[in-house]
A and B are shown apart, each in its own frame.
Chain A
């Protein structure tokens, strides 16, 4: 369970948001919504302790993440708004790098199946800089399955995806929550998934 208590964030003495609290029990999804520049990405980065809030604490399974950072990271997958695949490496090399980096037990067959499902199997040995934006985003999303962690955090996961992949992603979300996982993501698009809760950041902004 992820708990955030009264998080406030300032940038150059300007309040971005104030006193955001959230609770994310297992089998639940939170969708952070709000206008551009309201701080959706910032909130996700705070929840992963990439940015440090001015006030407030975040707890994972009852422990403050500040003191148990690496234990917390063992349970989190963070898909950023940027692509983290290296442009000099090919699709399969990036996947194997992630597999080894996160000591994943995913098998070669499963990787083949995922690539097939995302119709990336023709580009296995293509370097990332020849892929389109959507394909890079799809590759980024494979990390969710490779890392196999409980808590998924996604920043704008739907950008650049085709309808087929959006449906596939929604299906993956549903399966993940069914098996006890938690998801928190930011998006302007509100998908039709059970157990989803909207967090409107506009309510916390002070302009």
Chain B
């Protein structure tokens, strides 16, 4: 039923659009770094405190910057009807969702691998802990993208209340924050168990997101 061509075409188009809008990515990274700086200024120059709360601060800001990517998912394609066109080319909505998640993850989450160590320096976090943050981010970021996809598809018809999308992201992200920040504070034996729980959450979200998002998109198209 499917051929590979439409998938590649969509992938290539999304890459191009993301590349054209590179300033969006930069501003999200700026938001992240500035947020960290504001924490530094508001808490004061106490390195011990930073060592304790630094990881929590970084994860909180990752979550907040994730909110900014919310409208990038389906809104434009939905408004101009090209999502219907993509569907008519033989791609199911589920597949479109998967491709979108991949592209958004590559463009909006991968840059954080460079910027997180930088933030860790600002917060004076020790090197082994930085490694742990990066590992938990590697597992946690696809979950965040999936959640943003769910929230983005739920809010396609919502043109007024922009805050509710972020609220949905916040609620769904709570378990990720608990387990990814928990890794650093946990004793060595539990670290592995915590990571496994995080991987479990990742697979759960990867499994349900295409269906949930596709159902929301279909509903939105029906009710437009």
Which residues of A are in contact with B by a Cβ distance under 8 Å? 48, 50-52, 70, 73-74, 76, 78, 80, 82-89, 93, 97, 100-103
Q: Is the CB of A101 within 8 A of B80?
A: no
Taking the complex as formed, is B222 at the interface, i.e. its CB lies under 8 A from any CB of chain A? yes
Contact of A82 among B20, B80, B90 (CB under 8 A): B80
22 contacts between A and B (CB under 8 A): A50-B84, A51-B222, A80-B84, A82-B80, A84-B82, A84-B84, A85-B80, A85-B82, A86-B80, A86-B82, A87-B80, A89-B13, A89-B16, A93-B16, A97-B9, A100-B9, A100-B12, A101-B6, A101-B10, A101-B86, A103-B3, A103-B6
The closest CB in chain A to the CB of B1 belongs to: A70
With A48-B88, A78-B88: A97-B222 Cβ-Cβ less than 8 Å: no
The closest CB in chain B to the CB of A128 belongs to: B80
Complex: A78 Cα to B89 Cα, angstroms: 11
- On chain B, the residues within 8 Å of A82 by CB distance are 79-81
- On chain A, the residues within 8 Å of B89 by CB distance are 73, 101-102
Q: Is the CB of A84 within 8 A of B222?
A: no
Task: Give B179-222 interface residues, CB cut-off 8 Å to A.
Answer: 221-222
Contact of A100 among B5, B21, B80, B88 (CB under 8 A): B5
> Considering the complex of A and B, which 8 residue pairs feature the smallest CB-CB distances, nearest first?
A100-B9, A84-B82, A101-B9, A103-B5, A82-B81, A101-B89, A88-B20, A73-B88
With A52-B222, A101-B9: A84-B3 Cβ-Cβ less than 8 Å: no
The closest CB in chain A to the CB of B85 belongs to: A84
Interface string of B1-40 (1 = CB under 8 A from A): 1010110111011001100110000000000000000000
Complex: A66 Cα to B85 Cα, angstroms: 17
Min CB distance, A105 to chain B, in Å? 11
Complex: A103 Cα to B90 Cα, angstroms: 11
Complex: A52 Cα to B222 Cα, angstroms: 7
- On chain B, the residues within 8 Å of A52 by CB distance are 222
Complex: A88 Cα to B87 Cα, angstroms: 20
Complex: A97 Cα to B76 Cα, angstroms: 16
Complex: A64 Cα to B13 Cα, angstroms: 33
- On chain A, the residues within 8 Å of B85 by CB distance are 78, 80, 84, 101
Min CB distance, B45 to chain A, in Å? 44
Complex: A74 Cα to B82 Cα, angstroms: 17
